[in-house]
Structure 1
Amino acid sequence: MRLNKIKWTYLFLTTLLIIGLTACVGKLPANNQQNNSDPSKRDSSLTFFDVTLEQADEVGRPVWRVKAKQAQYTKEKEIGEALSPYGELYQDGQIVYQVKAEKADITQDGKQLFLKGKILATDPKNGVVLQGNELEWRPNEDLLIVRNKINGTHKQLQATAQEAKVKTREQRMDFSGGVVANSLDPQMQMRTEHLIWQIKEEKLIGDCPMQFDRYKNNQITDRGRGDSAEVNLKTKIATVNKNSQIDLLDPPVQIVSQSMNWNMNTETVKTNSPIRIFQRVDKLTVTANQGEMRIPQKTAYLRGNVNAVGQRRQTLNSQKLTWYLDRKLVEAQGNVVYKQVDPALTFNGDTAVGNLETENIVVRGGNSGDRVVTEIIPEEPRARN
């Protein structure tokens, strides 16, 4: 049976006319043919060939159009299984997505279109491709939903999830459920439960806990996490918020703060919030009011209430500190106080330079002529037996 176009509004009436006039003969499944003698067991199904299904809005503009080489119609399900369906989804009379599949179950109620099967949906404007096993199009809500093992690809991003919701006018996509997103430039993987992709602005926004892996030459170089984050794919800057943490492999340090800007181009981590840097090998910890880590130079710049603590409880306090991690050298400025436990010593001055790990620190009084104050605390005499 061949039919070029089926209008949803008149589909049922047309079917009755076809049956009554026998203008074309529809195929009935074999089991139905066997039960023709029993009217109660008949299935009112017909098979159409070269079918076009379409729906228009109140002003006559198309909201979807689906073509299939073969489609089965039943009174209960309206259109059922369709072979090789190809569809076009419209918003404001313009194509927003092209859909195709090898086989799909099609359902519609005049306001929504449902496809079930191996779905491939493509945005012809920005090149986004979504693959999944269920598709739902709600044109009145400007909402396309692809569900059940989503795989999305684009020149900037590849993502897997359980569901993707697309707002076509906003060019916004929400991935949810076990989201794993890989950006190509910068080369980074993000893992979370909900990720917003603002396609036009080239931004990724995570509003729940997220983990990052940063790659160089397909090798992990840095890891990060935070309760929320925003990644600008254009500027290659990630802003990690709330309990943010970045672990660098070279130099081997952990950086913790409430909010950090992670620049992938310059490979710097910067924050204006209280910061803690922990050097894992030497077990040296530095805290400050704000700081910056320049990864290629392996240098950290700390400002405001700087406190450096070594593994033998030696401490260096100052207002500014430059930490050259590869040289194991620190340079401190402003209200410097150096203390060590064994032997118990305290040095006060204007500047200090040295190796905190080996407790080899030189404290100076500065250009003002201030003298370095050295305090030696003698051990308490041991009690005689």
Structure 2
Amino acid sequence: MRTVLLRTVLPSALIFGMALVVLVGCDRKPPKPKDPQPFVFRSLNLRQQDGKGRPAWELTSPQARYDLQRRVARATEPRGVIYAAGKPRYKVQATSGLVINDGEVIQLEGKVLIQLLGPRGSLISGDRVRWTPSKHLMEIDRKPVFTERKSRLSSSTARFLLDKEKLELRGPTRLQQPELDLRVSRADWMANTGALVAAGPVKGERRPAGEKGNVQTVTGSSLEGNTREEVLDLLAPVRFVDPSRKAVLEAQRTRWNAKEKVLSTDLPFTGVADQTHVAGDSLRMILGDTMAIIPNGCRLRQPGERLQARECRWNWGRQEIEALGGVQLERDQNQQITRSERLVGKVGAKGLAEFTTPGGRVFSELKVPPPSKERRQPAPVTF
């Protein structure tokens, strides 16, 4: 403290008062500086380029609050574009967002949408996304959902690898399409091709449109497909059960075409429909027309009868069967064998097919039991 000498003689009371003021001034602590208020901007506009000077990504917001000390900006309704090789690839939007370290990390919150630009309509959504531009990575830890055309995928968490255009859905994953609802353990989807790969086991249900209360079940070891083509391939062993028709299909790799409503396999299969056992080298089930076609190696078996043909057509809606090409029908009764180029059958109330040959040539073989070797004694004649 500086000492000041005063030549003027002052009254003792005044001197005491001045001294008191000086003492109080020495003991007072300086006031704490107030925390700086965040800057409020009318708009936020961030842009970044790649190593070749092309646009890499950009983010805008109509209003943002910036904290200088923390280098964090809170943005309202952020909108952005992510580029690939300098061309717009994805459009991003959210309810709110945090821009950390001037864009080192961007956390998007609320209803977050990541849209693949183009005519396909691919959309990734979630309630919270952590975007790290330097790693080309988006991590979705709240309600990740992917939709494209008639396919919907949801899981516990997801990662979108932007440079590889790969969406990784992790945790119990659900795949939904019209009439179809499948569960898998995880799935990977490729944004550039629409290819889908899912790890099993695959378990699911099909609820045919217009058949209230009919729930069919389907299982497989794993799944492959394409969301753009709207096809899913179940990998062996595949089992399809329709309780309403007492039908079971067991097959190898089997394809479900959601657009055409066709279930098919190009590999050998077996099946049961009520009391009829079915087998073939391939199968095509046109569900919309209630038609099953066995193009190659058709074999049918029911109590007391066996049929084989090059091709079979089964309309389960009308309960009609048609066998074509090299048809052979064997019956246990009398060891009868019937050969024809075409046989038709009608499934009766007991679930058995009765075959006929309308207007066609039929060759039949019968084995009649030989006569008994025991000679009958002539009856006595009475006169």
Is 1:79 aligned to 2:72, yes or no?
yes
Indicate the residue corresponding to 2:294 in structure 1.
302
Aligned residue identity for 1:240:
L
Indicate the residue corresponding to 2:335 in structure 1.
346
Indicate the residue corresponding to 2:267 in structure 1.
273
What SS does the aligned partner of 1:166 have? strand
What SS does the aligned partner of 1:216 have? coil
Indicate the residue corresponding to 1:293 in structure 2.
285
The Cα shift of 1:274 comes to: 1.2
- Gaps spanning 5+ residues in structure 1: where? 1-35, 378-385
Aligned residue identity for 1:316:
R
Indicate the residue corresponding to 2:109 in structure 1.
117
Q: 1-side partners of 2:113 and 2:158: how far apart?
A: 11
Indicate the residue corresponding to 1:47 in structure 2.
38
Q: 2-side partners of 1:349 and 1:128: how far apart?
A: 57
Aligned residue identity for 2:209:
K
Cα pair 1:134 1:146 within 8 Å, conserved: yes
Q: 1-side partners of 2:187 and 2:197: how far apart?
A: 6
Deviations 1:156-212 (A, max 9, x none): 5444322343344665534333333444xx665443333344445455443534436
Indicate the residue corresponding to 1:166 in structure 2.
160
- Where in structure 2 are the equivalents of 1:319-338 lying within 5 Å? 319-320=309-310, 322=312, 323-325=314-316, 326-327=318-319, 329=321, 331=323, 334=326, 336=328, 338=330
What SS does the aligned partner of 2:38 have? strand
TM-score, length basis structure 2: 0.64
Q: 2-side partners of 1:166 and 1:101: how far apart?
A: 16
CA 1:117–1:269 in structure 2 vs 1: closer, same or farther (change >3 Å)? closer
Q: 2-side partners of 1:302 and 1:78: how far apart?
A: 68
Aligned residue identity for 1:178:
P
Larger radius of gyration: 2
Is 1:244 aligned to 2:238, yes or no?
yes
TM-score, length basis structure 1: 0.64
The Cα shift of 1:115 comes to: 0.6
Cα pair 1:71 1:83 within 8 Å, conserved: yes
Aligned residue identity for 1:372:
E
Indicate the residue corresponding to 1:22 in structure 2.
none
The Cα shift of 1:314 comes to: 3.4
Deviations 1:4-63 (A, max 9, x none): xxxxxxxxxxxxxxxxxxxxxxxxxxxxxxxx9789xx9x77523125555554455554
Cα pair 1:143 1:168 within 8 Å, conserved: yes
- Where in structure 2 are the equivalents of 1:174-323 lying within 5 Å? 174-183=168-177, 188-199=180-191, 201-210=193-202, 211=204, 213=206, 216=209, 224-233=218-227, 235-247=229-241, 253-279=247-273, 282-302=274-294, 306-310=298-302, 313-320=303-310, 322=312, 323=314
- More displaced stretch, 254-263 vs 115-124: 115-124
Q: 2-side partners of 1:154 and 1:115: how far apart?
A: 24
Indicate the residue corresponding to 1:372 in structure 2.
365
- More displaced stretch, 218-227 vs 186-195: 218-227
Q: 2-side partners of 1:358 and 1:376: how far apart?
A: 27
Cα pair 2:235 2:252 within 8 Å, conserved: yes
Deviations 1:328-376 (A, max 9, x none): 5464764735355xxx653334246556745755699x96x96514476
Cα pair 1:260 1:271 within 8 Å, conserved: yes
Q: 2-side partners of 1:166 and 1:375: how far apart?
A: 74
Indicate the residue corresponding to 1:30 in structure 2.
none
CA root-mean-square deviation: 4.4
What SS does the aligned partner of 1:227 have? strand
Q: 1-side partners of 2:168 and 2:113: how far apart?
A: 15
Cα pair 2:268 2:281 within 8 Å, conserved: yes
Indicate the residue corresponding to 1:7 in structure 2.
none
Q: 1-side partners of 2:201 and 2:173: how far apart?
A: 11
